[in-house]
Structure formats: C-alpha cells, structure tokens
Amino acid sequence: MRLFGLPRRARQGPEAVAQRAHVEPRERRNSNTEGDDGMQLGMIGLGRMGANIVRRIVRDGHTAVGYSRHEEQIKEFVDELGDSFQGATDYKTFVAQLEQPRIVWVMIPAGATGAVIDEVAELLDPGDIIIDGGNSRYHEDIKRAKALQPKGIHYLDIGTSGGVWGLERGYCLMIGGEADTVSHIEPLLKSIAPGVDAAPRTPGRTGEPSAAEQGYLHCGPAGAGHFVKMVHNGIEYGAMAAYAEGLNILHKANIGLDQNGLHSAEETPLDNPEWYQYDINVPEVTEVWRRGSVVASWLLDLTASALHADPELSTFGGRVSDSGEGRWTIDAAIDEGVPAPVLSAALFARFSSRGESLYADKMLSAMRKAFGGHNELPGKQ
C-alpha cells in the first residue's frame, strides 16, 4: 500500500457513517462561511478533465484525493498541489484517505466506468457518494442508482462540458440524482462551474442568480444529467456540421475560375461560371462573423483560431470520430417520435468522413456504368 501526501484529518468511525446514510445538505454541516477549509473530493481518473477539475477545486480552497495507476502522475500532483492533494495507486488506499461521507468522482472513458464503480462501491459505506462525470449512457445511470440504493450509497450522474478549456473557463455541469445529494456537494459544484460572470445575464432575470446561471443545474432524477449532456453533444454535432458545410461553400466559391466555360460530360456544368469567381478569405470571414453576427459563438471562436493557424487545414485528415452521444441522441428522438433531421444528418456525415460510404459510392458508379456506360475509374476525381 502506497500513500502519497499527508492525511488532513483522522477518518471518522463506522458509527458516524451509519448515522448519515441520508446525506444532509452542506449548509447544515460545516461550511466555508463558518471557518471550514472546504470539502474533499476523491477523483478517479486524472486525465485532462479530471486533473483540471482537481486543480479548480484546490485553488478554490477544497482538497482532493486522486487515484491513478501511474505512481509518477500521483507524485507530480503532490508536488504541484502540496498538502491539498493526496494520492493512491490502488482503490483501497484511495478510499482510506477519504473523509466520511466520501465523495468519489469517476472521470474515465465510458466503457470502463461500470466496472470501476462496481469495484469501488464494495469499499464504500452507507452515506457515501459516487459521481459519474463522464459520458455514460443515461440508461446505465438508472441501473446503477437502483443497484447502489440498497447499500445506502448515493449516485449522481454529472454531464460535464468544457473540455481542455475548463481549467480557466470552468465546466458546465448537468446533474442527475437526488436533490439532497446535489445540495450536499454544492460547494464543489460552485468551484467547478464557470460562475455567473461567464455569460451576460438573460434580460428579465433579476434577484439572486439561479444555479443554472452559475453554470450547474440539477436536471432531475438518476440519468437526467447524462440525458441533457447527450442532447448537448447531439446539438454540438449539428452546429459543427453547419459551420463546416457553410465554410466549405465559401471555400469553393472560386470554382468558376477553373471552368472557363469548359466542363466534362460526366459533370453538371455551372449555369454561369461568373457567379462563382470569388476567392473568399475564409479565415477572415470567421473573424468578421465573430463580431456582432447572429452566428457568433465560442465554437466559431475555436474555428477562427484553427483557420488562422492553418488556413487550408492541411494538418487534418478529415476523418471525424463520434463518441456515442450523437447516436444515443438519435435513438432518443426515435423513441420519442421527435424529428431530428439536422442532428441525424450530422451524425451520418461523420460516418461518411471515415469511409463508411465508400462501398455505397462505388455501387452508385457501378449502376451508372451499367445503365449509361459511365466509366468512373478508381482514383478519378
């Protein structure tokens, strides 16, 4: 058993844990305003997002215990964060370093989350909390919450958006689970979220800012957080596709310069090449759109940055992955009977980018040759 960092307090006994099988809101216990030095969070998964969540809470006065299989990574965090961080390379030691009731945040790829939660849950006590902050399917959240309930372990699913920018910008948090459990961890949520100043206040909203205005929202019971995050990612697919398609139309606006009235019999000619003789500076278009246009957004900001660094996008292969949430969004739309043509088209475009339409495209060429003698040879553009 390897210990990294110094324990802050002695652990509480099992009697105290049993008395708190029901998690009380944080304000009924110690709070920052009463001189407490913050809450403690256990983080399993110190990748980009998990690591930056730990950094955000530590710099806001909380402490953290981290789990990683890599001893060197734990040592790096101890060196960086000092007494505010402890670490372990096995789950038993990790759990032993956590104060009760323990708060364990799992931030690993969705495929491995279930097995990790099952293993860690065996080491926890009634009143402890497990958070899945990754991108699990909401169906799994419903099953996990039911499985943990007889053990007195509370489960939250937190859809987390912010990516590599979250350390400075904060993370948008979409939460599913029991209201009392959410209230208990609210000081941590406030430290992780962007805060009310991250966006101008919506006209008509007055008084104390709501949790949503601060960047976190209790969306409903188990699974609701990941359901909202799932749809968020589906919308992300659609928005990205819209920018990509629109900018590609601008990129090709000089096609008339190449035709000069000539065209192949295999291609539909332009009605008038003069209509498409614009050498549009696409990077500069994204810059002007960022300033006052209806389509201005953070996503457009990132697009402009990418185009400034590489105007022809020569460092990208054009193969676009999908991590699952887009598919699940379409599944939900089908179950609900809700039309989602834009989101589904954006998902299918990602499939095409990976060559999944190549066989179908060849089949189209084969049929055209069969009925019309059109010979579209391999490699012909």
Superfamily for the 230-280+317-372 domain: N-(1-d-carboxylethyl)-l-norvaline Dehydrogenase; domain 2 (1.10.1040.10)
Q: Do domains 14-199+210-220 and 230-280+317-372 have the same CATH topology?
A: no
Q: Is 323 left (phi over 0), alpha (psi -120 to 50) or beta?
A: alpha
Per-residue pLDDT at 109: 86
> Could you tell me if 129 and 102 are in contact, meaning their C-beta atoms sit under 8 angstroms apart?
yes
Mean pLDDT, range 60-88, rounded to an integer: 97
Most confidently modeled of 8-22, 34-48, 222-236?
222-236
Exactly one of 140, 190, 229, 325 is catalytic; name it.
Answer: 229
Q: Band of the pLDDT at 23, cuts 50, 70, 90?
A: very low
Residue 276: which of 252, 242, 312 has the closest Cα?
252
Q: Band of the pLDDT at 49, cuts 50, 70, 90?
A: very high
Check: pTM over 0.85? Answer yes or no.
yes
- Of 90-94, 147-151, 368-372, the one with minimum mean pLDDT is 368-372
What's the distance, CA 102 to chain centroid?
Answer: 24
Note the pLDDT tens digit of each residue in 292-337: 999 999 999 999 999 999 999 999 999 999 989 999 999 999 999 9
SS3 assignment, position 138: helix
Looking at every residue in the chain, the average pLDDT score rounds to 90
**Residue found by looking up tokens 């006994």 in the block:** 13
Which residue pairs, CB below 8 angstroms and at least 24 apart, start in 27-34?
A: 27/183, 31/187, 32/61, 32/187
Exactly one of 146, 236, 369, 376 is catalytic; name it.
Answer: 236
Q: Is 229 a catalytic residue?
A: yes
Alpha carbon distances (Å) from 171 to 49, 177, 191: 9, 18, 9
Mean pLDDT, range 207-216, rounded to an integer: 98
Residue 179, pLDDT above cutoff 60: yes
Tell me what percent of the residues of the chain surpass a pLDDT of 90. 80
Per-residue pLDDT at 375: 85
Measured distance CA(114)–CA(142) in Å, rounded: 12
Tokens of 71: 């001893």
Measured distance CA(279)–CA(299) in Å, rounded: 24
Residue 51, pLDDT above cutoff 50: yes
Question: What is the DSSP pairing of strand 85-88 with strand 129-132?
Answer: unpaired
Q: Band of the pLDDT at 15, cuts 50, 70, 90?
A: very low
Per-residue pLDDT at 377: 81
Which helix H or strand E contains 155, and what residues bound it? strand 154-161
CATH number for the domain formed by residue range(s) 14-199+210-220:
3.40.50.720
Measured distance CA(84)–CA(59) in Å, rounded: 9
Residue 28, pLDDT above cutoff 90: no
Domain boundaries, given as residue ranges, for the chain:
14-199+210-220, 230-280+317-372
Half-sphere exposure of 241 (CA within 13 A, CB side): 23
pLDDT: which is higher, 274 or 2: 274
Note the pLDDT tens digit of each residue in 186-199: 999 999 999 999 99
Q: Return the amino acid letter for 291.
A: R
Lateral strand order in the sheet of 63-67: 85-88, 63-67, 40-44, 103-106, 129-132, 154-161, 172-176, 216-220
Residue 201, pLDDT above cutoff 50: yes
Measured distance CA(143)–CA(226) in Å, rounded: 13
> Could you tell me if 195 and 122 are in contact, meaning their C-beta atoms sit under 8 angstroms apart?
no
